[in-house]
Amino acid sequence: MSDPEVHKTDKPANVDDVVGSANASLDDAAAAGADVPGAPVQGSENTTPESKPVDPDLAAFEEAERDHPGLFSSPAATQTTPASERTYGRDDADATPAFVAPVPRDDTATSSYDRTDSSDRADSFDRTGSYDREERVADAAYAPHADQVETRIVPSEPLVASAAQAPQPIFVQAPEPPRDRGNRGTAGAIGLLATVVFALLYLAATIGIRAAAGEVTGENIGDALVAPLLTWGFWTPVVVFFLGFWLLGAVINRGRWGLWVVFGILVGLFAYTGHILGQLFEAPFWMLTASEGLELAGSQLFQPLAIAAFVFGRELTIWFGAWVARSGARKTELNAEAQREYERTLEAGPTLAR
């Protein structure tokens, strides 16, 4: 006798078609079981079979499940089924006998039970997965908050001795060359003293000449001494002498005394000219005509007081010029010493002050 035929399809269109195909297979299996010798008769309820009959429905469902995995269970339940449960299922299937006598049952109730059982298992698996997800979310919510940034312990870098810094340049102001000391100020100061002496000598000469002429006596000598001090004729040669002496000192500066001796005659000429100008101021010259002015100037050319002014101017320039020359020589030595010190400083180079 041949085995029960099970209609196999490569790819079922839907679940209803598959269930219908399974029911048809169950009917064929039941019909085939009736023809098997030794099979129990459905009408005899008290008869005990020699071996445990194979449930045709279960066999058909198992064969359909093997041919089409996941047909009678939801994908979620299949994916989330624990490994232990899958192992238990395989053990039960292995323990089932190869052939079990069919037990008559209601096909409608069986298919309904299978669908209900499958949906219940799917719901239980869904509730279990949902419970697991909710439990994980709760655990994450009540878990102690940890620092999101991982604390890293980095070993400190070893101290590296800084490289020796290059010496900073030190700017030292270069010494300035010494300035030569002049002698013009000294010549002017000494010229003032020479001018005072010239004024005294010129006043004495004036009083002497007037006394020789009989104009000054013992009774009016006081007036004779004061009268020249109030005239242009006395102060003009004095001022001109000072200007001549200072100009000569500015030109000679630190020159030797011989220059004063030679060019002292120029200061004498200044004093001589000053005497003539003084007489013109006394006239006064702005009230004279040109011929009268020339006649007055000519009359004073060889006057004793004019000659005395020339002599006083020249001699005082020579003697006071010696003083100026000596001061000039001293200034020359100081300038030379300062120059030598400057050269020594340049040769020694810059030094740091301590």
Give one DSSP letter per residue of 225-255, joined into a string.
HHSGGGSHHHHHHHHHHHHHHHHHHHHHTT-
Alpha-carbon distances of 243 from 192, 209, 246, 276, 313, rounded to whole Å: 10, 26, 5, 16, 11
d(CA 317, CA 106): 168
Q: Show the low-confidence residues of the chain (pLDDT under 50).
A: 1-2, 4, 6-7, 9-10, 12, 38-50, 76-101, 104, 106-114, 116, 122, 124-125, 128-129, 131, 146
Q: Give the pLDDT of residue 94.
A: 47
CA–CA distances in Å: residue 76 to residues 65, 73, 131, 133: 16, 8, 14, 14
Rounded to the nearest angstrom, the gap between the alpha carbon of residue 254 and the centroid of all alpha carbons in its chain is 59
Count Cβ atoms below 10 Å from residue 264 Cβ, excluding itself: 22
* Percent residues over pLDDT 70 in the chain: 60
* Cis previous bond, 284, omega within 30: yes
Whether 179 and 289 have beta carbons less than 8 Å apart is answered as: no
Is 254:336 a contact under the CB 8 Å cutoff?
Answer: no
pLDDT at 293: 82
- Per-residue pLDDT tens for 112-159? 444 545 555 545 445 544 545 555 555 555 555 545 556 667 666 666
- So what's the pLDDT on residue 236? 92
